């Protein structure tokens, strides 16, 4: 422990240390403020890309469902990421961020479809189309699991209560 016999106001070393500490505290406060502002700007920019991230994840998980059709269909995350990066590189560019994101969503959706079609048997192409559309609409809140099951199974196992209103409309 350091003890000084010099009065506090006359201790030059102590005053300089206090002034340095004060400057450092002010700089740290300014940097923290700048950091918070930067974080808010990054958060705002990140939120802009949420629709693209959502679509990409929906499509990836739609592909992950394909082994239910045929166990031979396996898709890796690495190959999907390559396809996504390729979509970023090849999609139409725009200075307008919203338009750019829409271009990316459309381009990537079609790129996933085209790429996956090359890997499927022709008899499963319609199932792929239906499943991709359903997953996108489900994410948007525009499709229900019951409707999807009716499309997949033709109403078999969906229960007569579900089919009754449909058949009633078809007769009249």
- Whole-number Å distance between alpha carbons of 157 and 150: 9
Closest by Cα among 90, 103, 59, 91 to 77: 59
Phi-psi region of 121 (alpha: psi -120 to 50; beta: other; left: phi over 0): beta
What's the confidence (pLDDT) of residue 45?
86
- Whole-number Å distance between alpha carbons of 45 and 105: 17
Query: Is the whole model's pTM more than 0.85, yes or no?
Result: no
Each residue's pLDDT tens digit in the chain (172 positions)? 556 566 666 778 878 888 899 999 999 999 999 999 999 999 998 899 999 999 999 999 999 999 998 999 999 999 999 999 999 999 999 999 999 999 999 999 999 999 999 999 999 999 999 999 999 999 999 988 888 888 777 766 555 454 444 444 444 3
Q: Domain 49-124, CATH 1.10.8.1220 — does that match?
A: yes
Could you say which DSSP state residue 6 is in? Answer: S
- Whole-number Å distance between alpha carbons of 64 and 125: 15
Q: Where are the domains of the chain?
A: 13-44, 49-124
Cα end-to-end distance, the chain, whole Å: 98
């Amino acid at each position: 422990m350091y003890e000084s016999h010099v009065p506090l106001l006359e201790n030059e070393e102590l005053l300089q240390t206090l002034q340095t500490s004060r400057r450092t505290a002010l700089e740290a406060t300014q940097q923290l403020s700048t950091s918070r502002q930067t974080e808010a700007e990054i958060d705002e920019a990140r939120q802009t890309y949420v629709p693209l991230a959502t679509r990409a994840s929906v499509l990836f998980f739609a592909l992950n469902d394909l082994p239910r059709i045929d166990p031979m269909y396996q898709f890796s995350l690495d190959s999907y990421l390559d396809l996504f990066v390729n979509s970023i590189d090849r999609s139409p560019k725009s200075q307008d961020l919203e338009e750019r994101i829409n271009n990316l969503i459309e381009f990537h959706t079609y790129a996933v479809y085209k790429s996956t079609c090359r890997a499927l048997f022709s008899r499963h192409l319609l199932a792929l189309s239906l499943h991709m559309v359903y997953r996108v609409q489900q994410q948007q809140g525009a499709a229900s699991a019951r409707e999807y099951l009716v499309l997949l199974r033709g109403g078999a196992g969906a229960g007569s209560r579900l089919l009754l209103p449909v058949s009633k409309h078809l007769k009249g």
